[in-house]
Amino acid sequence: MRSRNQLMDAAYQDDVYIDDRTIDSHIKRLRRKFREVDPEFDAIATLYGAGYRFADES
């Protein structure tokens, strides 16, 4: 699991300000791109109030 803040820290430098919703927009685009290849894709889980998790297929 990764929180929004962890994702922002990994993606952007400290001197760049971004809104929390920016990560949500990126996740939305990623899901859309994966669903273009696999319409059943649901491996990115939203953990409300916490962040995101890449679902384990096992």
User: Total domain count for the chain?
Assistant: 1
> How much of the chain, in percent, has pLDDT values that exceed 70?
95
User: Which contacts of 23-30 are long-range, i.e. CB under 8 A and separated by 24 or more positions?
Assistant: 23/52, 27/52
pLDDT value, residue 7: 80
4/32: higher pLDDT: 32
Give this prediction's pTM. Answer: 0.68
* Tokens 């962890």 found at: 6
DSSP 26: H
Q: Could you list the residue range(s) of the whole structural domain that residue 16 is in?
A: 4-54
Q: Is 11 in contact with 52 (CB distance < 8 Å)?
A: no
The set of residues, in sequence order, having a beta carbon less than 8 Å from that of 55 and lying 6+ positions away, is 42, 43, 44, 45
CATH of the domain at 28: 1.10.10.10
Other CB atoms within a 10 A radius of the CB of residue 52 amount to 19
